[in-house]
Amino acid sequence: MADTLETPSAQIDLDQVWQSSEIQSLLDQLNEELIGLVPVKTRIREIAAMLLVARLREQHQMLTDRPTLHMSFTGRPGTGKTTVAMRMAKILHSLGYVRKGHLVVASRDDLVGQYVGHTAPKTKEMLKKAIGGVLFIDEAYYLYRPENERDYGQEAIEMLLTAMENQRDDFVVILAGYKERMDTFFQSNPGFHSRIAHHIHFPDYSLDELVEIADLMVRQQMYAFDDDSRAAFREYLDLRVQQPHFANARSVRNALDRIKLRQANRLIRAGGSIVASDLARIDAEDVRASRVFRGGSTADQAG
């Protein structure tokens, strides 16, 4: 193979190439945005390294098949799948695999019509928006519902498969959803499975990671836990993760929103004079007023 190279002994400064590609900057942003997820972040870095090496091989006239870039992200809600997809789109753009690097998020309703002739224009419109970037399809297993004989999802699937093959030089699809349901979906749709190169699972966060996520969100919103309220929130999370419909970081965010409501009501009810720092302080009573401590409803809007 070396005989076919124009510059077989050319020196390549990999550190310089890596830095100039902006990959490390994007990975650093991902670390700042998302707590934990070490296996996911490691896999994204590995994919980025593979894509960079593929580009270098092309530049040095080495036979290189274009990498298959379509992906599957599995995991429960609130585990960072959309955020990672956004950063992946930027990495693909920085390496020249897509022209724009934007992310288009879609669900079944964005792609599948309700009557004959409705699906094709809807799917075409979403594909048009996504060309040059990444189409992220959440809960992809809902695209086709075989139990409904009048379901038009199969038409959308066929159009997506065609685009994934024919426009793969400037278009990437990421399918996302619960792992078990995605496994079933791929078994039922082998065309998708054969076009997906990277299957990445996003694990649930540990209790310590959830508390760290809460601390980060609180700081970003210019609020503050004290020792008692942080301990109370940890107890809240320990109870909440055992109940249905827990959505990891999304549920943490929703819980903090309700805590802020209770904090504001506490301050207004008390009236009188306060110091400015009271506007930021979260008290334990703001946390413990949640119905979760009383064994009440587990719906996010309920407490």
pLDDT tens track for 210-251: 999 999 999 999 999 999 999 999 999 999 999 999 999 999
Spatial separation of the C-alpha atoms in residues 213 and 253, rounded to whole Å: 9
Spatial separation of the C-alpha atoms in residues 21 and 199, rounded to whole Å: 24
Give percent of the chain above pLDDT 90: 74
pLDDT band of residue 63 (cuts 50, 70, 90) is confident
Instruction: Map 174-222 to HEC letters.
Output: EEEECHHHHHHHHHHCHHHHHHCCEEEECCCCCHHHHHHHHHHHHHHCC
Give percent of the chain above pLDDT 70: 94
CA distances from 231 to 46, 240, 283 (A): 37, 14, 11
pLDDT band of residue 66 (cuts 50, 70, 90) is confident
CB 43 within 8 A of CB 200: yes
Helix and strand numbers (H, E) in the chain are 13, 7
